[in-house]
Chain A
């Protein structure tokens, strides 16, 4: 009797309401986490690996993760990008011990098994034994012991990897709409301004939901309203790809290019109790002709692209167990930015990142959920803002893109 009850308690049956309900069990159950790593991150998904400008030269490499699997991303001597699991085919040791570098081969420190930059095994010390003794058995074939390879595809200088070698090309996976949003930023050569890293003690899905959650923005992030910073036009909405798994939340507006003009413009609301002593971090340059000043794009399962005025960044989400995840931010500018433009981006970066005026709350809010659901795994989230469907909408008081995430999650997980 007890065994049956145990099984009943642990098996997840999705509520009949579908994507407008989420059992809290998905954020806490280690078996579900393991299946997510297999079905989603090591399944038919494209995962952000990095940017071509991070490994520009032959022999350059960097290490990162797909889900919680460590991977190496390289630019081979043939000029192409490759990616493979960072695990020696011999006894499972981490092959590449550093974050990045340049090399012709990668050698595991344990027994000096040596791989080329495509991940193929090239050298095995004492393969033929020493003085006629020992060595590998007859029939040992180095070709059968390469590092586990990922399929790699790049688009607009962004590198993606997948464990599914039959997966559709990245442009089809993203779809036309998502690709056109990406090209707003990535059709020009970019340059790296730096990295930030953040740990949140909550399940990775709580962060990804937060990015897709356009409902919370003006309610949790009070910086703009506290200081009376209003947009000329608050028009915006959310745009989903056909599958509902990717989204863009966008806002139109106008960015003032001068502090004095800003002070005299409609962008200021003098009725606010508090005013910024130095509002120069809010001025910048109108560099996007479509008039969108805020665009947050999520690409399933682990990538976010952010344009907040002139503060551009990619955020890579790394699951680290059921109740922890890391966020790696790559701050970007354009290769042809002058010094003044770089300074504008650096000052505007005060708005984003782990200490960002309008983003720091996102670090803490997932933890609030993770703490609140302890012991209540069968209880449900209620996600009906903006209805119960999954569709693009021309307003942001909606949870449609969150429902889109769960629709795809259920498909990948077989619920």
Chain B
């Protein structure tokens, strides 16, 4: 009885830590702390923003495709130093998480998200909605993304995308 109780408790704790990871992740982006964004990932990581249209047809083309932490950092540097775009802010709203698979200590997690974007004119509009398909591991007790696939329903990107989701 006691053993079963501990197992259930562990599940709750893990889920709570994964929720915390995801909330911290979106709040980092929304708060414009982009320099901290790559640190939510493991060193050997994969990050992809891909349309539902491509994902469901097994077409690989993505609008952002990073297979290293270095590429994530380059996205941030380009955002800050190279690319030219109208200032904007994001507000992510995320659902609670569903852990759909666990193999050893590797968790597959689904979360829905909606990003509202507020541009210079001050109007907040639905910018992009979809789901996160995350592979999450724990490094020194800290949850991190080994893989993050952002699969978006909003096929038509409004103007451009420069800030990660």
Are A198 and B60 interface neighbours, CB within 8 A?
Answer: no
B68 closest partner in A (C-beta) = A278
Within 8 A of B (CB), among A175-217: 192-201
A377 near B: Cβ within 8 Å?
no
B62 contacts which chain A residues (CB < 8 A)? 194, 346, 349
A277 to B43, CA, bound (A): 13
> How many pairs, one residue from A and one from B, have CB atoms within 8 Å of each other in the complex?
126
Write the nearest CB–CB distance from A60 to chain B, whole angstroms: 14
Q: Which of B7-15, B16-24, B47-55, B96-104 contacts A (4 or more CB under 8 A)?
A: B47-55
Within 8 A of B (CB), among A345-403: 346-347, 349-350, 353-357, 360-361, 363-364, 367-368
Are A353 and B63 interface neighbours, CB within 8 A?
Answer: yes
B93 contacts which chain A residues (CB < 8 A)? none
A220 near B: Cβ within 8 Å?
yes
Known: A281-B71, A361-B85. A346 touches B160 (CB 8 A): no
A201 contacts which chain B residues (CB < 8 A)? 158-159
A274 contacts which chain B residues (CB < 8 A)? 77, 81-82
B162 contacts which chain A residues (CB < 8 A)? 355, 360
Are A346 and B82 interface neighbours, CB within 8 A?
Answer: no
Interface centre among B71, B156, B159, by most chain A C-beta atoms within 10 angstroms, is B159
Are B160 and A360 interface neighbours, CB within 8 A?
Answer: yes
A331 contacts which chain B residues (CB < 8 A)? 61
A276 near B: Cβ within 8 Å?
yes
Are A277 and B74 interface neighbours, CB within 8 A?
Answer: yes
Contact digits for B18-37, partner A, Cβ 8 Å, 1 yes 0 no: 00000000000000000000
22 contacting pairs across A/B (C-beta < 8 A): A193-B59, A197-B157, A200-B159, A226-B78, A226-B82, A227-B82, A273-B81, A277-B73, A277-B74, A278-B73, A280-B68, A326-B156, A331-B61, A347-B67, A354-B157, A354-B159, A354-B160, A355-B160, A360-B160, A361-B84, A364-B85, A364-B159
Interface residue ranges, A against B (CB under 8 Å): 192-201, 220, 222-223, 226-227, 273-274, 276-278, 280-281, 326, 331, 342, 346-347, 349-350, 353-357, 360-361, 363-364, 367-368
Interface residue ranges, B against A (CB under 8 Å): 49-51, 53-54, 57, 59-71, 73-74, 77-78, 81-86, 155-162
